[in-house]
Amino acid sequence: MNNHTSKQSWTRRNCIGKGSFGVVNLAVDHGLTFAVKSVEKNNSNLVHSLENEIRILKSLSSPYVVSYLGDDVTCEFSSVYRNLHMEYMSNGTIADVAGSCGLMDLRSYTWCITSALKYIHSRNIVHCDVKGTNVLNGNIRGMAKLADFGSAIELGVSCLVTRGSPLWMAPEVVRGEYIGPESDVWSLGCTVIEMLTGKPAWQDQGAETLRLIGYSNQVPELAHSTLLSDDLRDFLDKCLKRDRSERWSCDKLIQHKFLLSCTSPSSPQIMMKNDLSPRCVFDWCDSSSSSCESTLDTCRLSMTPCNAKQRIGKLALNSGVNWETEGWEVVRHVDETTTCEYSEESVSGSGGVNWEYTASYYYMNEVVESTSSDARGTMVDWISRDSLDLYRCYMYVWIEKMFQMIVLNLISVIYYTQWLTLTPSLHHI
């Protein structure tokens, strides 16, 4: 995906979203799936907004902000489009699960959004449109990423236009007085209420709602909910102060006791699976073994992030995973590793993506030669070992039989001699 090129190397697929700042399609480029946000070049307002989003998104790099992948200009069906290539999140938005997520997910989503805002605010960027439809669900349960920076601004740049969605706007934004990080914090509180109830923080009554937000002393009402704990209520109170100077910053909110128990969406408490990874063949347990099941249950209950890191460290060795155990005999051993590169140029003759991978094997002729040599050597060893064992077996049987014959003959001679001695009549014959 080259920047600012009219040559389209990717394929546009179905539409996955539409908004006031453009259309988002699914796209594929050499097996890579991503999202493309496009506007027609003849619409100067939309192009200006998209250029602003490209510039801002290109400067950001956070696990809690949707990733920038590239941008270009294409000509399709006699129309010219300005395109932004972004990371594709296939699980929809927070608005899709609003009202149905549990307390653990609610806390985790809030942690991700707060972390994203903390990051962009540290870079003097204000999102200006934080709401459920602009927060994307990640591939891990409880993971979320902030998206849609079409309304975002950089601090210090004059902004004369009110930005955002009315039901999530801060009072000072509705009045047209100020746009800053504090405005995002108000929108964060409204988004948490949206996740909690499944509805916007304010009822949509048109101009009356704008009057209530901008010129009254009211704050969004918190409907009764089993998820509305004292910690969550206090968190919302810190976000929804009508006086922006009294609102907590995201640096302080991330330390709030409502979020302290949620450190990261990759922590064991919110992972989809906590199964241990095997490091050798005997790490697998028999499902019929009750002792093994109890051991694994104990490991799962006692797992901490520190233990998880240590176990991953044991897996991530330079020598690779050790599938051998004491008592196993090495029949064939390969020490060399070869890095093989595959390039699409060798197939299609045109420039493309290069794929690299590492494999533990020789080139074909070396494989055949080394395998044959190892096999011959192993077979000779087996033949020699089997022949020696067979010879020893035969000798043992032969010696045992000879010993029995000698003993029997000796006993026979003794009995015969005694019989002759005890029978004097036979001496006269």
Which residues are catalytically annotated? 129
Q: Is residue 15 classed as helix, strand or coil in its secondary structure?
A: strand
Measured between alpha carbons, how far is residue 376 from residues 56, 365, 370 in Å? 65, 16, 10
Is 58 labelled as part of a ligand binding site? no
Long-range contacts (CB closer than 8 Å, 24 or more residues apart) made by 385-389: none
What CA–CA distances, in Å, run from 126 to 74, 83, 121, 122, 396? 30, 22, 6, 10, 91
Measured distance CA(342)–CA(333) in Å, rounded: 26
**DSSP 3-state assignment of 76?**
strand
What DSSP line would sit under 305-329, residue for residue? HHHHHHHHHHHS-TT------TT--
The Cα 423–Cα 19 span in angstroms is 128
As given in the structure block, the two tokens for residue 194 are: 């949206």
CB 53 within 8 A of CB 19: no
Q: To which residue do tokens 């019929």 refer? A: 288
**Taking each helix axis from N to C terminus, what angle separates 230-239 and 181-197, rounded to the nearest 10 degrees?**
140
Alpha carbon distances (Å) from 34 to 25, 219, 351: 9, 39, 20
Q: Which two tokens stand for residue 86?
A: 């972004």
79 φ/ψ sector (left φ>0, alpha ψ -120 to 50, else beta)? beta
Radius of gyration of the chain (CA): 38
Measured between alpha carbons, how far is 350 from 366 in angstroms, rounded to an integer? 31
The answer to whether residues 191 and 113 touch, using CB atoms and an 8 Å cutoff, is yes
